[in-house]
């Protein structure tokens, strides 16, 4: 993982306590000193941040808590991007704000893709080659749905939730989001009716946005001062790992440059488009083989390989063993701390 830092508000510990989780136990389990949270905000490496969320799973022993942490936050506990989004004119505008300014807080980005009558919303992490903590994904999705509901004042529901994980806590997730849940998906995606993007926010405040956005724009500039085109290419390629081999032409078009310019800029950084594509394929294959029950042929298809043998040869070059042998040796057959909870468990947790 990269050394990029995640800005974590100390009130996150208050949110843990509010849902019945001992913050001190979580920090001890994650190996993070409590003193680092004395200030209003602390900076964790991505590795520490993921360890923190895995510790929540281990200490709580239930998948319900990721949903509760995301859904039960109060506005004063929002990060700056979410706070600005709450005051946007519409749900679609709110997503645009989160998509632009999420990087102020961490190495996570949000992508919104409208396909026909559906709006697909997905979070992506830059420079992450490990499976995401499941409670972190659940909290992020629950937080986004909560933002839609709080802003519109309506019981907004996704059409479905797609999760890149093995089936677990299905009833719990269906109960919380009020929609179908698809497991063993190629990525973690919230799917809304595209018409929901036009829903007006009752919390819209143009004056407050005028105050918040210049500061966010300045902070974003500072955050991305070391940003390179390689990061943009990795994200663009990663978003296309759904059964196509992302061409340099398609990625260059998305990044508003010619293929020749893109290749030249990558070359100046000592890399090539093919090298970045191989890196993303490698990282994605590890996550899918470690976190889902997709077989090697299905993974090969999602990564855009013409045939499974080509994928097997590439994976053997990356890892020194075939996909099947790598999966058999992987300790990630089941994520730590998931108890196979139920909707009843979530309701019991809310009542405590």
pLDDT, tens only, 40-69: 889 999 899 999 999 999 999 888 899 999
Give the pLDDT band of residue 9 (cuts 50, 70, 90): confident
Contact residues for 298 (Cβ-Cβ < 8 A; gap 6+): none
* pLDDT score of 338: 40
Tell me the pLDDT tens digit for each residue of 276-286.
999 999 999 99
Instruction: Answer whether 147's CB lies under 8 Å from 82's CB.
Output: yes
- The beta-strand segments (E) located in 73-179 are 108-115, 118-125, 160-162
Between 40 and 322, name the one with better pLDDT.
Answer: 322
- The pLDDT value recorded for residue 345 is 40
Cβ contact 43:6 at 8 Å: yes
Look at residue 346 in the predicted model and tell me its pLDDT: 40
Cα gap 98→181, rounded to integer Å: 24
- 26 or 128, which is more confident: 26
Give the pLDDT score at 332: 59
Contact by Cβ (8 Å): 281, 314: yes
Per residue in 222-240, pLDDT (tens digit) is: 777 666 889 889 888 988 8
Residues 132-161: tens digit of each pLDDT: 899 999 999 999 999 999 999 999 999 999
The pTM assigned to this predicted structure is: 0.83
pLDDT in the model for residue 286: 92
Residue 336's pLDDT band, with cuts at 50, 70 and 90, is very low
More confident residue, 337 or 152: 152
The reported pLDDT for the residue numbered 344 is 41
In angstroms, the CA 267 to CA 256 distance is 18
Tokens of 191: 């799917």
* H-state helical runs in 178-247: 206-223, 229-239
- pLDDT of 177 reads 97
pLDDT in tens, 156-205: 999 999 999 999 999 999 999 999 999 999 999 999 999 999 999 999 99
Q: What is the pLDDT of residue 226?
A: 62
The DSSP symbol for 194 reads G
Comparing 53-57, 102-106, 111-115, 306-310, the range with the smallest average pLDDT is 102-106
Q: What does the pLDDT read at residue 194?
A: 97
Q: Quick one: 280 exposed, middle or buried, by C-beta within 10 A (0-12, 13-18, 19+)?
A: buried
Alpha helix stretches (DSSP H) within 61-133: 64-71, 80-86, 91-101
Look up residue 37 and give its two tokens. Answer: 């949270």
User: Closest Cα partner for 335 from 302, 297, 286, 292?
Assistant: 292
Torsion sign over Cα 282, 287, 293, 299: negative
């Amino acid at each position: 993982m990269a050394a990029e830092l995640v800005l974590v508000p100390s009130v996150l510990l208050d949110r843990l306590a509010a849902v019945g989780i001992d913050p001190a136990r979580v920090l001890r389990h994650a190996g993070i000193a409590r003193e680092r949270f004395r200030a209003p905000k602390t900076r964790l490496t991505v590795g520490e941040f993921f360890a923190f969320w895995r510790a929540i799973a281990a200490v709580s022993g239930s998948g319900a808590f990721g949903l509760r942490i995301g859904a039960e936050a109060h506005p004063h506990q929002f990060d700056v991007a979410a706070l600005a989004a709450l005051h946007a004119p519409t749900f679609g505008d709110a997503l645009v704000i989160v998509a632009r300014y999420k990087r102020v807080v961490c190495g996570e980005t949000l992508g919104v893709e409208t396909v026909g009558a559906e709006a697909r919303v997905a979070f992506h992490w830059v420079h992450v080659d490990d499976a995401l903590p499941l409670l972190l994904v659940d909290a992020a999705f629950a937080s986004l749905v909560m933002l839609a509901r709080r802003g519109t004042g309506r019981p907004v529901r996704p059409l479905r939730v797609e999760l890149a994980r093995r089936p677990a806590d299905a009833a719990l997730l269906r109960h919380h989001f009020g929609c179908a849940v698809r497991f063993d998906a190629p990525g973690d995606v919230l799917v809304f009716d595209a018409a929901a993007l036009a829903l007006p926010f009752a919390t819209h405040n143009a004056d407050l946005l005028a105050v918040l956005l210049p500061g966010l724009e300045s902070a974003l500039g500072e955050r991305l001062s070391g940003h390179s085109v390689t990061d943009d290419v990795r994200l663009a390629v990663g978003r296309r790992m759904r059964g196509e081999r992302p061409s340099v032409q398609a990625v260059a078009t998305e990044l508003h440059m010619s293929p020749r310019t893109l290749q030249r800029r990558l070359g100046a950084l000592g890399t090539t488009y093919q090298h970045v594509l191989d890196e993303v394929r490698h990282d994605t294959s590890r996550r899918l083989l470690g976190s889902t029950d997709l077989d090697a042929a299905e993974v090969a298809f999602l990564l855009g390989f013409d045939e499974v043998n080509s994928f097997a040869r590439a994976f053997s070059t990356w890892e020194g063993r075939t996909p099947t042998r790598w999966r058999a040796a992987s300790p990630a057959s089941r994520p730590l701390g998931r108890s196979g909870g139920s909707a009843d468990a979530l309701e019991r947790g809310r009542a405590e």
